Structure 1
Amino acid sequence: MTGLALPPLAVQPEHRPVAPDRRRERPRLYAVDGIRLLAALMVAVHHYAGTRRVDQPHNRIWDRPVSDIMPSVFHVAAYGWIGVEIFFVISGFVICMSCWGRTPRQFFVSRVIRLYPAYWFAVLFTTATLAAVPGVWERLRLRDVLLNLTMLQSGQGVPNVDGVYWTLWSELRFYLLFLVVVAMGLTYRRVVVFCCVWGAAAMLAPVADLPLLTLFADPEAAWYFIAGLALYLMHRFGQDLLLWGILGMAWLMGQKELGRRIDEVEHVGSWRGAVLIFTVFLLVMVAVALGRTDRIRWRWLVTAGSLTYPLYLMHYAAGTALISRLRDDLDARLLVALVLAGFLVLSLLVHRFVERPMAGQVKRGLETAFARRRNAEARGTGG
């Protein structure tokens, strides 16, 4: 899940023949911005009022089961974790769209400036908040906090400053794999082959007993990203039986993974409810891919989408710590609403005063570095 900005679609020449009306430039996908924010809010409400953790007696956040405090909210919020799977699907869609026609260098720069500025702020903000409001989460050692700034802590076996960062590890592995296709040049056939090869690896990994294969294949998340890639190919080239087959396989593998996550991780909600929500989401994304939502052009959705990534990064550990301090002073539903509203405002401020300025500075710095490298190589060749 990365809260990625959606650039206008620029169509490039392809190896696969397509109908002329499918090659015209489409408008910005405002609907996807709205879906991303909805997914982030689902995850946040789940963490505040729908996890097994908050439904235990004497839990550190509410002190008593949240299903006793606000039962109706709990039963709905219990399914909010599916927002993460929604993020992964959207990430596959958006990354494929934003990388079309780009070089590996451009892909690398775009990912760095999109991921790191808000993430650096979130790591420092959460660390400071947990120091100021102790008692809910354990504080990490300084060395571990510093390593978190790399976003590579999961590869080192180091805990995350905030538990939600686990999804970034899946995102980074997806980017690394997809970079191979970007380097070759994105075409319909290459993306389809990538989906098939990655999907096969993800299916084999659980029984292959090869840690390296499992690490790169990421079977827990792979099929959600693959679904997003297939949906983007539908958006760009139109639907066909092959893409429907890939999407269908992604749904079948996804429903299995949803059940595993309920049984082994979440322990709330039901498989049927989770599959229903995921299926409805995929159908909405099919509508987006086939242009059925192109009439949605509410510009406020662009701002809404820009809040998604900072909100996701900051809401969990800091938000639950605040709830633990304020739970006895406010109505529980009002408290959840106020904490969410506060983090939405903070996310807007982070986007405007941290993400955008820092992204520009980092981009200029990276482009200068790459330009110097090219000039040095040119001088070396000339010599």
Structure 2
Amino acid sequence: MSTATQSRPAAQEAAPGARPPAGSPGAGPRPRLYVLDGLRLIAALSVLSFHWLGVNKHPTVWGQKPSVMMPTAHHLASYGWLGVQLFFVISGFVICMSCWGRSPRQYFTSRVVRLYPAYWVCILITALVVTYASTVRADRSKLTPSDVLTNLTMLQWPLKGEAVDGVYWTLFIELRFYLLFAVVVAMGLTYRRVLAFCGIWTILAALTPISGSSVMDLFLMPEYAPYFVAGVAMYLVYRFGANWMLFGVIGFSWLYAQNRLRITVKSYEGEVVHSLSWPVLAVVSALIFLVMTAVAMGAFNWVRWKWLTVAGALTYPVYLLHQELGWAMIRWGRDHGVAPYPLLGICLAAILLLAYLVHRLVERPVSALLRRMLDSATLSLPKADPPVRRP
């Protein structure tokens, strides 16, 4: 069949007014989105600042509340947890981008090799810190060997195991998003299917709170759904071009998200031990949506700084390591008389260096090995039972 008469694959289905998808005839080369690597790093450092400077709940870390020692820095860092929301929007965008045109098996492999190698080694490092620097937090529960082994599955919350590090709760959110999106991947990604996924998830998530269903709440994640949905819609803008339908999905997702922030903020106010400004939350949330929409529309294609690739690679191990290990380093430094701001610089440099070592010495080689193992494995079910072995 000639190229001229061959039908277009479903994965390259055009949206109304779309530009040609990447890799299709007439489509120019698509630049690497270096800006996403930079935004990942900003998100990770925002969350780090929240845990190091914004949290007043654990005064034993600094010896007193950060709001007393560094009031200006504390006030800004109190909103650093919004980096998690930025992470979720980026995740929706990147997952859709990375799995378009891939089979369910390739999708599964890509998620496993991306999440687990760095996570496993960071679990072990953090478990050692929690075990041998347990005086950092008086309220920290003791870890058992079973807890550590359970954490290696990334399912410690549904299995009711003690978390090695509290920040890993977001990974369970990500896993549930991957599970939901796997349904669309199994069907084959097209513009219409992905757009329908965004609409159906949004509606069901919005109905979940009044349903009283714990199962719906578990899988549909009404508190975080709008961020993932917006990220997915932003990728459709990036791949197919902007239209009012996609802008409507993104705008509706923000309206939904700002409503849920009124609930989300309560748990963070318990961490900072004071109230947070809803207008500030709404503005920062809107800024996240606007910047990511601008990324999707190509406004940051001029960003070509190669070092951002390394920065993006460090983001995941920085996130995995920064809380318990960071608190232990802060406690050690202040016990040895290091001034607060120099101590922050030293701890940040140490976390970045350790994250780089984890990435280069563990994540890259283990991910490559794990990918080869999964690629060579037979993941499909056999058509018939194997023959019974006779004695």
TM-based fold match above 0.5: yes
* Counterpart in the other structure of 1:77: 77
Post-superposition Cα deviations, 1:297-338, rounded to whole Å, max 9, x if no partner, equal: 110000000000000011101111221222242111111221
Moved more, 136-145 or 164-173: 136-145
Q: Secondary structure at the match of 2:351?
A: helix
CA distance in 1, matches of 2:175, 2:143: 23
- How far residue 266 of structure 1 moved from its aligned partner, in angstroms, is 3.0
- How far residue 18 of structure 1 moved from its aligned partner, in angstroms, is 4.6
Q: Tell me whether 1:36 sits opposite 2:43 in the alignment.
A: no
* Counterpart in the other structure of 1:248: 251
- Equivalent positions of 1:104-115 (< 5 A) are 104-115=104-115
CA distance in 2, matches of 1:48, 1:147: 27
Q: Cα distance 1:18–1:345, how it changes in 2: closer, same or farther (>3 A)?
A: same
- How far residue 104 of structure 1 moved from its aligned partner, in angstroms, is 0.3
Q: Tell me whether 1:284 sits opposite 2:291 in the alignment.
A: yes
Is the Cα–Cα contact under 8 Å of residues 133 and 322 in structure 1 kept in the other structure? no
> Which amino acid letter does the alignment assign opposite residue 292 of structure 2?
M
* Counterpart in the other structure of 1:8: none
Q: Which blocks of at least 5 consecutive residues in structure 2 are unaligned?
A: 1-9, 387-391
> Which amino acid letter does the alignment assign opposite residue 278 of structure 1?
S
Higher helix residue share: 1
CA distance in 2, matches of 1:260, 1:281: 19
* Counterpart in the other structure of 1:207: 210
* Counterpart in the other structure of 1:222: 225
CA distance in 2, matches of 1:301, 1:378: 50
* 4+ aligned runs moved over 6 Å, structure 1: none
Is the Cα–Cα contact under 8 Å of residues 223 and 253 in structure 1 kept in the other structure? yes
Q: Secondary structure at the match of 2:63?
A: coil
CA distance in 1, matches of 2:31, 2:269: 38
Is the Cα–Cα contact under 8 Å of residues 11 and 190 in structure 2 kept in the other structure? no
> Which amino acid letter does the alignment assign opposite residue 185 of structure 1?
G
- Equivalent positions of 1:227-376 (< 5 A) are 227-267=230-270, 268=272, 269-328=276-335, 329-370=337-378
Q: Tell me whether 1:14 sits opposite 2:52 in the alignment.
A: no
CA distance in 2, matches of 1:16, 1:157: 44
CA distance in 2, matches of 1:158, 1:22: 45
- How far residue 341 of structure 1 moved from its aligned partner, in angstroms, is 1.2
> Which amino acid letter does the alignment assign opposite residue 234 of structure 1?
V
- How far residue 252 of structure 1 moved from its aligned partner, in angstroms, is 0.8
Which one has a bigger Cα radius of gyration? Answer: 2
User: TM-score when scaled to structure 1?
Assistant: 0.91
CA distance in 1, matches of 2:112, 2:19: 35
Q: Cα distance 1:378–1:299, how it changes in 2: closer, same or farther (>3 A)?
A: farther
* Counterpart in the other structure of 1:169: 172
Q: Cα distance 1:27–1:379, how it changes in 2: closer, same or farther (>3 A)?
A: farther
CA distance in 1, matches of 2:326, 2:221: 29
Moved more, 250-259 or 142-151: 250-259
Post-superposition Cα deviations, 1:329-367, rounded to whole Å, max 9, x if no partner, equal: 211111122111111111111111100100011111111
User: TM-score when scaled to structure 2?
Assistant: 0.89
Identity score, percent = 48
CA distance in 1, matches of 2:161, 2:39: 32
Q: Cα distance 1:287–1:279, how it changes in 2: closer, same or farther (>3 A)?
A: same
CA distance in 1, matches of 2:164, 2:64: 25
Q: Secondary structure at the match of 1:370?
A: coil
Q: Which blocks of at least 5 consecutive residues in structure 1 are unaligned?
A: 1-10
Q: Secondary structure at the match of 1:161?
A: coil
- How far residue 379 of structure 1 moved from its aligned partner, in angstroms, is 11
* Counterpart in the other structure of 1:190: 193
Q: Secondary structure at the match of 1:274?
A: helix
CA distance in 1, matches of 2:181, 2:267: 29
- How far residue 21 of structure 1 moved from its aligned partner, in angstroms, is 5.4
CA distance in 2, matches of 1:355, 1:291: 30
* Counterpart in the other structure of 1:46: 50
Is the Cα–Cα contact under 8 Å of residues 42 and 81 in structure 1 kept in the other structure? yes
* Counterpart in the other structure of 1:4: none
* Counterpart in the other structure of 1:7: none
CA distance in 1, matches of 2:258, 2:237: 21
CA distance in 2, matches of 1:278, 1:20: 29
CA distance in 2, matches of 1:186, 1:378: 30
Post-superposition Cα deviations, 1:195-238, rounded to whole Å, max 9, x if no partner, equal: 11111111111110111111110111111100100111111111
Q: Please report the RMSD computed on the Cα atoms of aligned residues, expressed in angstroms.
A: 1.9
Q: Secondary structure at the match of 2:377?
A: helix
- How far residue 140 of structure 1 moved from its aligned partner, in angstroms, is 1.5
> Which amino acid letter does the alignment assign opposite residue 33 of structure 1?
D
CA distance in 1, matches of 2:260, 2:340: 32
CA distance in 1, matches of 2:262, 2:314: 30
Is the Cα–Cα contact under 8 Å of residues 127 and 139 in structure 1 kept in the other structure? no
> Which amino acid letter does the alignment assign opposite residue 174 of structure 1?
F
- How far residue 262 of structure 1 moved from its aligned partner, in angstroms, is 1.7
